[in-house]
Structure 1
């Protein structure tokens, strides 16, 4: 995490904590444009399925977040679900979406392309 901005490193740490606390396959955290953070783990109920990033975005939106600055996902998988990235892009077309492994090492950062879409 040493190459990350300290605020981005914080959301990776929060995502790791969410994942570890629940034993979920993934954890996520987002930072809104006011600097508040929201963390969540994946939800797998018979009637509700959310990725960790979708759950974190939902927490931010339901708390009145005006937009997002950045997002992070910690996962055992080597990629982030397209629907999860799309949830971030709905609020912030240009926000970086950081993927880290369970140790917190950054695997990839999904920056937007010139059109504001995920790369």
Structure 2
């Protein structure tokens, strides 16, 4: 019997923005750059526990759809990362996509996920 597809993940709402550390600010810059280079809907960046960063843009192909955050997390894992320290997503949405949130939480239950507008203004941070 085929498996029932999972329900779409909830879209966590960021809390009020707080000042970012220099390292987290760099994640927003990297995410903006990834989004802008290809004109994608979203850009994202993550930092692993060794301080390495990975940036990605959303992918929408007929056979494959990934959020920017999913792809950034996948890139980190493919490079050997076992834990994430922080993440940032640049998007026009006011909430964080559930699939990207889940991917980050697979590697870190406490990593802040900063959500920023396309101009780099931080809209808030998801910590749960």
TM-score when scaled to structure 2? 0.85
Aligned equivalents of 1:66, 1:101: Cα separation in 2: 28
SS in 2 for 1:15: helix
Aligned positions of 1:29-44 closer than 5 A: 29-44=45-60
User: RMSD of the TM alignment (CA)?
Assistant: 1.3
Q: Which runs of 5+ in 2 are unaligned?
A: 1-16
**Which 10-residue stretch deviates more, 19-28 or 75-84?**
75-84
TM-score when scaled to structure 1? 0.91
Structure 1 outlier segments of 4+, above 6 Å: none
Matched positions, count = 112
Q: Which has the higher contact order (CA 8 A, sep 6+)?
A: 2
Task: Quote how far apart the aligned CAs of 1:47 are.
Answer: 0.9
Q: Which runs of 5+ in 1 are unaligned?
A: 113-119
